[in-house]
Amino acid sequence: MKPLAQSARRIFGLVYRHVALYRRSWPRLLEISYWPTLELLIWGFTASYFAHATLNPGLLAGGALIAGVLLWEVTLRGQLGVTYSFLEDIWSRNLGHVFVSPLRPAELVASLLVVSLLRTLVGLFPATILAYLLYSFNILHLGPVLLLFFINLLFMGWWVALLIVALLFRYGAGAEALAWTVAFGITPFACVFYPVAVLPPWLQPLALALPAAHIFEGMRAALLYNLTDWRNLAAAATLNAAWLLVAIAVFGLQFRAARIRGALIAIGE
């Protein structure tokens, strides 16, 4: 078997490990789509209320809110998909076996990203359908640019997740709480529901350093003015590439440091 095929098979092995787990656990499957659906309902009804209160059909404004909810969930679910899958192996005290197999660290990361993509697609599917049924909002109306939004937001979720996994290598399962909170903490600066200009001037550079702020500016341009904002899309892609490089470097350094400290042996403790 050629090295690339061997590598693909090892990645498949870990993906299979997670798919097998979800296949038999309906609570885990439910959990994947629970929060996106809940967020959609809250913001969808909020948008409907504002539309009635202002005697404005508010379709565009409501569309921006609902699209914001759905797209931001791509980042949140993408990040959780990686960190939750890694934590599954910590909780099951299985990482020792994984790390003494021929699986390379890059293959471990690749398998976590594949699981994350699957979790994100499955998790967002019910919310996307509900958005159409309850609020007549079809996310596909964004057109082909939706794919670019999706990819950029997913990548942002992934580099945030890699940084969190690096912290898990550094601080062990004690850093578990970060897996659930970090991406939510970024939300105010991602400018999901409002333009960057709404933030105080001193906070705007922070927002503009995040790919998400550019994506959501682009999303509002697409929804409100039917424009494709290539400048913001390019900025988001560039920032994602830069942050991803930083995250890979930090992950690699922390993995190496964990092997020196012996943290891989006791990562679940």
Give the footprint of another protein on this chain (CB under 8 A).
Answer: 1, 6, 9-10, 12-14, 16-17, 20-21, 24-25, 88-89, 92-94, 96-104, 256, 259-262, 264-265
- Residue with Cβ nearer another protein (185 or 262): 262
d(CA 261, CA 259): 6
In whole angstroms, how close is the CB of 208 to another protein at the nearest point? 40
Cβ contact 115:122 at 8 Å: no
Residue with Cβ nearer another protein (46 or 88)? 88
Closest distance to another protein from the beta carbon of 117 (Å): 19
1 vs 177, which CB is nearer to another protein?
Answer: 1
The residue count for the chain: 269
Query: Which residue lies nearer to another protein by CB, 61 or 98?
Result: 98
Residue number, 85 or 240, with CB nearest to another protein: 85
Q: How far is the CB of 246 from another protein (least distance, A)?
A: 24
Q: What angle do CA 96, 98, 103 make, to 5 degrees?
A: 140
- Compute the least distance from the CB of residue 100 to another protein, in Å: 4
Residues 6+ apart with CB under 8 A from 227: 221
Minimum gap (Å) between residue 12 Cβ and another protein: 6
